[in-house]
Copies of this chain bind each other. A is one copy, B any other.
Amino acid sequence: MAEKIRLLPLGGLGEIGKNMMVVEYRGKIVVVDTGLMFPTPEMLGIDLVLPDFSYLRDRADDIEAIVLTHGHEDHVGALPYVLREIGFPKVIYGGMLTVGMVRSKLDEHKLGGAPLTELPTGQVVEAGPFSIELVHLAHSIPDMRGVIITTDIGSVFFTGDYKFDQTPVDGRPADVARLARLGSEGLLVLAGDSTNADRPGVSPSESSVGPALIEEFSRCKGRIIVTSFASNIHRVQQVIDAAVRLDRKVALLGRSMRKNFNIASNLGIANAPEGILIQPRDIEDFPDERVIVISTGSQGEPFSALRRMANNDHRDVELHSGDTVVFSATPVPGNERAVNETIDRIYEIGASVITAKDAPIHASGHGWREEIKMMLNLTKPKYVFPVHGDFQRIRLHSELAESVGVPPENIFRGRNGLPLEVGADSASFGEEERSGIIFVDGIELADPNDASLRDRRTISGDGIVVIVATIAAEDGEVVVDPEIISRGIVALDEEIGLNDELKDLVEDSLEKSADARVRNHDLIQSDLHDAVAGFIHKRLKRRPMVVPVVVEV
């Protein structure tokens, strides 16, 4: 078999090839992005969701580099866990802000020694059988980089998340010239973002948001609270610029808002004129009409600054009628309810709310259909591997590729764990590899099928009963009254009657076991379990977890 480049997407939760891509050639590996996902409500007690990267465990020595496209959590958030499990690779590349944000994150995880290296655009570095080059693209965070990985049989381009913003806030549109050269040089594979493959036309420019914000702000008579993603530095910058123009002070609220702004400030990416920033605790010292607060919580996150304000539970800011809360963001799918709840609490307080439905105060960071087609037309890939999307968007991206002339047989609709194997003149899916998700549960990594998590689910719905029976070792007679401990079962916690009945039942079961003393400890426990579980189901139509503990003295 001729040598092939192998592209293995890892991850789960509906999006394909979003969080992590393992690129393999001649036995060596480059990893593009190491992102995480956020737990859904049914993942009880789970803190974070990571791609299952066990594939990399045995291959740690083969990793030539990790390349990060940009600083969003879904592209870099799993890095500390990956590094802890597989050790430091030779090098970790990214753009300036990405490296700055990731360095701060790794420091918090006590992984400060990781070989993080800023790779300037246009500079080509060798990494084993690969060469790597970053290409500047625009997104909702500065310093977004597409990744060109070249081997001796051809190049693969990973777009990361991008849009073709012609008037980005930092004045640096996507490097269309480099993309065009990629096309004229002959690109083997394009692995491109599908996020907005369902939206017709071209996405609005980030710089169109600033004037819209100024227009809304100018109508506000009282305090303005703007909420947006903390990593959207250009958005925060535009709010600050608007504040300067409207002669208002700015307070940054929420840990990630302050942290990201500081990092970006230190790197010269963001800038607040002297005297414009005030401390949250000083907000009340200024007249309402002279203040803009920029806050986390645009997704209704439970402990965010905005949610606290909406719940009348923020240390520094008490919302009141006259305030206007401006949502310069749209809910990420799944967050609609939390956002709606937050908005309605604000209405209850009597403050006003402006969302992206009312005015063009948000712009997506992902290109729409015409931009996806432009990327295809510029880079002219032989093979197209649509990524970053659910099955629907992957299919829509495939249709766009067909519409610009890519032969259907050269378009590969994959799924996580299914590697695309690409030779100079052929491509096909290989054998499925282990993939999926793992959970961060406190400080532990856990498998989603772990019995502990199943147990939590059972107990969360139906409660738990522990029966402690103390019996004599010699004859199995009950020595002291059995103890029945229940948690999470309304009727047992309240109704004394039912508890007494349950106690009688336990004693009966133990007596029967004592009569048949030839039987063993496990059988006594399992009889006890069945008797109690049956009783509770009959009486309460519930199936709690029943844990019998038989102590012999």
Which residues of B lie under 8 Å from residue A460 when comparing CB positions? 44-45, 456-457, 459-460
Copies, count: 2
Say whether, besides A344-B390, A488-B452, A334 and B333 are in contact (CB < 8 Å).
no
CB of A551, distance to nearest CB on chain B (Å): 5
Asked whether B459 lies within 8 Å of A456 as measured between CB atoms, the reply is yes
Contact B547 A466 (CB under 8 A): yes
Q: A83 on the interface (CB 8 Å rule)?
A: no
Taking a contact as CB atoms closer than 8 A, the residue among B41, B395, B490 that contacts A42 in the complex is B41
Is A453 engaged at the interface, CB distance under 8 Å to the other chain? yes
0 or 1 for each of A7-18: is its CB under 8 Å from B? (1 = yes): 000000010000
Question: Across the interface, do A491 and B444 meet the contact criterion of CB distance under 8 Å?
Answer: yes
Taking a contact as CB atoms under 8 Å apart, the answer to whether A341 and B14 are in contact is yes
Which residues of A422-471 have CB atoms within 8 Å of chain B's CB atoms?
Answer: 441-444, 446, 450-453, 455-457, 459-464, 466, 468, 470
- Which chain B residue shows the least CB distance to A394? B347
Interface flag for A489 (CB, 8 Å) = yes
Closest to A343 in B: B392
**A320 CA / B457 CA spacing, docked (Å):** 32
Q: How far is the CA of A334 from the CA of B300 in the complex (A)?
A: 13
| Residue numbers in B under 8 Å from A459 (CB-CB) | 456, 459-460, 464, 487-488
Give the residue name and chain of the B residue nearest to A331 (CB): B336
A490 touching B391 by the CB < 8 A rule?
no
Q: Is A479 interfacial (CB-CB < 8 Å)?
A: yes
List of B residues within 8 angstroms of A540 by Cβ: 442-444
Q: Scoring A residues 36 to 58 as 1 if CB is less than 8 Å from chain B, else 0, what string do you get?
A: 00001110110000000000000
Contact A541 B463 (CB under 8 A): no
What distance in Å separates the Cβ of A440 from its nearest Cβ neighbour in chain B? 11
Interface residues of A in 310-337 (CB under 8 A from B): 333-334, 336-337
A456-B488, A463-B455, A553-B479 are known contacts. Are A541 and B450 too (CB-CB below 8 A)?
Answer: no
Min Cβ gap A491→B in Å is 5
CB distance from A515 to the nearest CB of B (A): 22
B14–A470 touching, CB < 8 Å: no
Given B14, B441, B488, which contacts A344 in the complex, CB threshold below 8 Å? B14
Determine if B395 and A483 form an interchain contact, defined as CB atoms under 8 angstroms apart.
Answer: no
A179 CB, min distance to chain B CBs, angstroms: 29
A contact face: mostly helix, strand, loop, or mixed: mixed
Q: B336 near A333 (CB under 8 angstroms)?
A: yes
- Within the complex, the shortest CB–CB distance from A552 to chain B, in Å, comes to 7
Q: Is A105's beta carbon under 8 Å from chain B?
A: no
Question: A336 CA to B40 CA in the complex, in Å?
Answer: 13
A65 interfacial by beta-carbon distance below 8 Å:
no
Tell me, yes or no, whether A485 is within 8 Å of chain B by CB: yes
Closest chain B residue to A488, Cβ basis? B456
* Residue A496 at the chain B interface, CB threshold 8 Å: no
* A493 proximal to B (CB < 8 A): yes
For A446, what are the chain B residues with a Cβ–Cβ distance below 8 Å?
Answer: 490
Q: Which chain B residues lie closer than 8 Å to A494 at the CB level? A: 452
Question: Per-residue CB proximity of A95-127 to B under 8 Å, as 1/0?
Answer: 000000000000000000000000000000000
Q: Which B residues touch A487, using CB under 8 A?
A: 452, 455-456, 459, 464, 545, 547
Q: How far is the CB of A93 from chain B (nearest CB, A)?
A: 32
Hey, which chain B residues are within 8 Å of A452, CB to CB? Answer: 463, 487-490, 493-494
Q: How far is the CA of A442 from the CA of B344 in the complex (A)?
A: 30
Most B C-beta atoms less than 10 A away, residue of A42, A336, A395, A442: A442
Q: Is the CB of B547 within 8 A of A485?
A: yes
Interface centre among A42, A453, A464 (most CB of B within 10 A): A464
Q: A344 contacts B545, CB within 8 Å?
A: no
A542 close to chain B: CB less than 8 A: yes
**Contact flags (1/0) for A341-359 with B, using CB distance below 8 Å?**
1011001100001000000
A450 and B494 alpha carbons, distance in the complex (Å) = 10
Say whether A177 faces chain B, with CB atoms less than 8 Å apart.
no
- Could you say which residues of chain B place their CB within 8 Å of the CB of A391? 344, 347-348
Is residue A549 within 8 Å, beta carbon to beta carbon, of the partner chain? yes
Chain A contacts with B in 269-324, Cβ cutoff 8 A: none
Contact B333 A337, beta carbon cutoff 8 Å: yes
Give Cα A442 to B539, complex, Å.
10
Interface flag for A1 (CB, 8 Å):
no
Rounded to whole Å, the gap between the CB of A503 and the closest CB of chain B is: 14
Q: Is A266 an interface residue (CB 8 A)?
A: no
Tell me whether B450 and A490 are in contact (CB under 8 A).
yes
Contact residues in B for A44 (Cβ distance below 8 Å): 44, 460-461
New A-B contacts (8) at CB < 8 Å, excluding given A444-B490, A457-B460: A347-B395, A442-B490, A443-B541, A450-B490, A470-B553, A480-B552, A483-B549, A485-B547
Top 6 A-B pairs, shortest CB-CB distance: A460-B460, A45-B461, A41-B41, A456-B488, A347-B391, A334-B337
Q: Can you list 26 residue pairs at the A/B interface with Cβ under 8 Å?
A: A14-B344, A40-B337, A41-B41, A41-B42, A44-B44, A45-B462, A333-B336, A334-B340, A344-B391, A347-B391, A442-B490, A442-B541, A442-B542, A443-B541, A444-B540, A450-B490, A452-B488, A452-B494, A455-B487, A456-B460, A459-B460, A459-B488, A464-B487, A466-B485, A470-B470, A483-B551
